[in-house]
Structure 1
């Protein structure tokens, strides 16, 4: 691991692990000797990070030079913790880990009083039912949306019919008990909704639709809203949601 990558990883560990963190634990996480760990701590301090502690006592990050100070109200902190906790429980492994990392970074940027509010937030999230597992790779779908690249999917509808589709993925919608993929179907030449749980396989297809994802998604949501009280249907004919409940930050 390059030194720059190691220092970045060390900062993340200091943000996320419960302080004080011993040199032995940090060295083990990084796969280096404690002697190297001590030099890395000195390097971070030289860059401006305020790291209290010393060998034998453990280390605490008291001021993070890499993150700007945040001015969040207590209710904003409650909303932040509750939202990221929900993502941690509902998201796929990559998204769940991202929620943990994001909260750790935000916490590290706050003054001591605000950190205490995060650690003792009122809102808690718990789910009795286990997280649903999907055959489709959600990381692949997100990447395709970010990069505006076409996907090819094998899909099974409610009647058990299986079809292959090439799509331009636009967004993933988190419903109460299901995930839904909004897309433009190249076979139908129109916008369509696909239940992620009904996707049997997924792979890259040739072609890019950059830079059309944002305007296409805006047009699709506008189209849904203009149908008033008519509920949209999934590709296999199942009713999904009412349009007035569908929003997007565009």
Structure 2
């Protein structure tokens, strides 16, 4: 691993792991020996990172040179912590992990009293019945939507009929009990909502529909909002 990549991973670990974090933990996260880790901590300190602690005690990142300082009120912090905590209940582990990393980065830029408040927020989020995790890789859908490339789906509709669909992915929606893909279905030549739990397999295609995604998503969501009553649209 290149040294720059290793130092970046070390900074990330210092941001998100509970403080103080031991040298052994940091070495495992960055996949280096503890001897190399100590040299990397010295390198970060030389670059402007304020890292408290020492070998045998643990380390804490108290000032991060890579991120500008944040001036958030306590209520803004509560809202941020609660909103990111909601990601744990969406059944999308990668997204939940990204939320944890984002919160760690933000917390690293806060004054010490605000960082303490973020770590011990008054508000919390809990679900008695968490949504089941998706059985397909949702990152494939996200990447295809951003790059505006078609996907091939193996899909089972609400009546149990199986079909192969080529779709243009427009976005993901997280409902209370399920996730859905909003897309243009090339088979039906119309907008469709595909329930994630019914997608059996998914594969990216080379076909591009750039630069139409934003306009199509705006059109589709406008249609959904215009329905009366404003209930969840009937899925495929």
Q: Same fold (TM over 0.5)?
A: yes
User: Higher RCO, 1 or 2 (CA under 8 Å, sep at least 6)?
Assistant: 2
Residue 192 of structure 2: aligned partner? 192
Distance in 2 between the 1:225 and 1:33 partners? Answer: 56
Where does 1:1-250 land on structure 2 (aligned, <5 Å)? Answer: 1-229=1-229, 231=231, 233-236=233-236
How much has 1:31 moved relative to structure 2? 2.5
8 Å Cα contact 2:131-2:178 kept in structure 1 = no
Distance in 2 between the 1:24 and 1:30 partners? Answer: 10
Distance in 2 between the 1:189 and 1:133 partners? Answer: 30
8 Å Cα contact 1:171-1:183 kept in structure 2 = yes
8 Å Cα contact 1:151-1:203 kept in structure 2 = yes
How much has 1:172 moved relative to structure 2? 0.7
Distance in 2 between the 1:174 and 1:232 partners? Answer: 11
Q: Which runs of 5+ in 2 are unaligned?
A: none
Distance in 2 between the 1:45 and 1:232 partners? Answer: 52
SS of the residue corresponding to residue 153 of structure 2 reads strand
Aligned residues: CA RMSD: 1.7
Change (3 A) 1:193 1:24: closer
8 Å Cα contact 1:185-1:192 kept in structure 2 = yes
8 Å Cα contact 2:170-2:216 kept in structure 1 = yes
Distance in 2 between the 1:4 and 1:230 partners? Answer: 51
SS of the residue corresponding to residue 72 of structure 2 reads coil
How much has 1:81 moved relative to structure 2? 0.6
Moved over 4 A (4+): none
Change (3 A) 1:209 1:58: same
Aligned residues: 236
Q: Which runs of 5+ in 1 are unaligned?
A: 237-250
Distance in 2 between the 1:20 and 1:51 partners? Answer: 10
What TM-score results when the alignment is normalised by the length of structure 2?
Answer: 0.93
Distance in 2 between the 1:212 and 1:176 partners? Answer: 29
More displaced, 165-174 or 122-131? 122-131
Distance in 1 between the 2:137 and 2:61 partners? Answer: 36
How much has 1:139 moved relative to structure 2? 1.4
What TM-score results when the alignment is normalised by the length of structure 1?
Answer: 0.88
SS of the residue corresponding to residue 193 of structure 2 reads strand
Distance in 2 between the 1:35 and 1:181 partners? Answer: 48
Distance in 2 between the 1:183 and 1:210 partners? Answer: 14
How much has 1:230 moved relative to structure 2? 6.1
8 Å Cα contact 2:26-2:37 kept in structure 1 = yes
